Structure 1
Amino acid sequence: AYNLSTASIYNWLNRGWLPFELADLPNRNIRQCRVNEHRGTFTSGTSIEQRPTIVNQRLAFGHWEVDTVLSGRKASRACLVTFVERKTRLLWAIKAPNRTAKALNSAFEKFMGTFGSQVKSITVDHGKEFADYQSIEQDYQIKVYFCHPYSPWERGSNEYFNRRLRWFFPKKTNFGQVTTDEILAALELINQRPLKIHHQQTAIESFRACSD
């Protein structure tokens, strides 16, 4: 029998040869499926099944995963809207007063003001904060793809880097009291870490190389 080494599995993951991602590997004490999620959802939009293979395999630059990171229960309605570029793994985050479509669109406007032409598509879930996705598509001429319900592994990079943000902002954090400077400081530390998938290059270095 042929014994497949751990190194081979990681190499195949890094090259996009397996139907899941390095960030999807199970972490201790991390629930992989949010079966008790009760927030509102909707069902329209373009399925992730229609996302091009070149995006799925991280060969194309400018395709982002988007999610929200919440304040502690009863602490505040404020949250972070998080963005991860799939090829380079650059993480960005913008504070929003709540998780409504209006607040999401406002945060996205700020995001586009920073990254602009470096955004070609986003992949999100069916939470109601993304219900006004058609405005995003029309205003910025980008494509919005939607994951299947209860499938966080389809935004594996976003899930992974959201957990890295939790190093700085634990689950009881009140984001209403977190400053922009504190968010930017956390992002810099995360994005400046050497990544094995980039041969020890940082996400910022990789992003800049793709942007040139």
Structure 2
Amino acid sequence: MGTSTLSRFQRGALAQLVSEGHHTYQDMADALGVAKSTISYELDRVKPYDPELAQQDADHKRRACGRHSILTPSLTILITNHLRLTWSPEAIATAFNLSTASIYNWLKLGWLPFNLADLPNRNVRQRRANEHRGTFTSGTSIEQRPKSVNQRLAFGHWEVDTVLSSRGQSQACLVTFVERKTRLLWAIKAPNRTAKALNDTFGKFMGTFGSQVKSITVDHGKEFADYRSIEQDYQIKVYFCHPYSP
């Protein structure tokens, strides 16, 4: 019956009915041509009822409609952790299906606890183009990964990468494990980016998550060259992303 919102005129009329003091909610709803629940909601949100304050509140909510940020606390942690691992906003946006412009805006607004001046100077494609760690070409392509993994429906599908210090003064690196559904980030320090060091680090990771790991996706860096051992030892599938994908 009627509308679910009131006009400025209806709010003025409602104030008059309320001031008379003897009308039920249903009486007022019938008089204004709206649902009883509309009257109940209107009077509950502004006490004592003031039609001007009610109109201002309604106008404010209407202007704010659709402006809610997608930057949740968990997403803030995810982005900040990757920025601290020297990922660029471009790489983060690509990896987690976000807008690069939004990440830069959140940084400028101070919504992310990270200094804009501390961003890496080059994006992930440029960094990797200058790497000299070597690559290989075997392995199962990401194109063969089940489509359900892309839909992020189940926990247990992880993307693994290695991150060097931007200063380049150490062979040590961080091995990062990102779970696709929850975007949980797990990082373990490795002494270098050799296949042996990677496999040792992966063993530590499996010691924590074990049966919760259903598949992993990596790139063709040589630290992942011994991927067959991972598949055989832990009975999980390893997929390889396209060159220069973060």
Q: TM-score range with shorter-chain normalisation?
A: 0.5 to 0.7
Tell me how large the CA RMSD over aligned residues is.
2.9
Superimposed CA distance per residue, residues 21-54 of structure 1 (whole angstroms, 9 cap, x where no aligned partner): 4246355566152333332000000000001110
Q: Which residue of 2 aligns with 1:33?
A: 125
Q: CA deviation at 1:76?
A: 1.3
Is 1:95–2:189 an aligned residue pair? yes
Structure 2 equivalent of residue 22 of structure 1: 97
Determine which of 156, 175, 179 is the counterpart of 1:85: 179
Name the CA distance, whole Å, in 2 between partners of 1:82 and 1:89: 12
1:63 correspondence with 2:157:
yes
Matches within 5 A, 1:112-131: 112-131=206-225
> 1:23/1:134 Cα in 2 relative to 1: closer, same or farther (>3 Å)?
farther
- Gaps in structure 2 of 5+ consecutive residues: 1-65, 71-93, 105-120
Aligned to 1:165: none
User: Partner amino acid for 1:50?
Assistant: Q
Matched residue type, 2:100: L
Displacement of 1:20: 7.7
How far residue 74 of structure 1 moved from its aligned partner, in angstroms, is 4.4
Shift of 1:114: 0.4
The 1:117/1:144 distance shift into structure 2, 3 A limit, reads same
Which consecutive residues of structure 1, in runs of 5 or more, have no partner in the other structure? 1-5, 11-18, 153-212
Equivalent residues in 2 for 1:118-197 (5 A)?
118-152=212-246
Amino acid at match of 1:31: N
Q: Which has the higher contact order (CA 8 A, sep 6+)?
A: 1
Structure ID, larger Rg: 2
Q: Percentage identity across aligned positions?
A: 79
Report the TM-score, using the length of structure 1 for normalisation: 0.59
In structure 2, distance between residues paired with 1:22 and 1:72: 24
Q: Quick one: which amino acid aligns to residue 25 of structure 1?
A: T
Instruction: Return the TM-score normalized by structure 2.
Output: 0.51
User: Cα–Cα, structure 1 residues 103 and 56, in superposed 2: closer, same or farther, change >3 Å?
Assistant: same
The 2-side partners of 1:24 and 1:78 are apart by: 31
CA contact (8 A) 2:124 2:244 kept: no
1:105 maps to what in 2?
Answer: 199
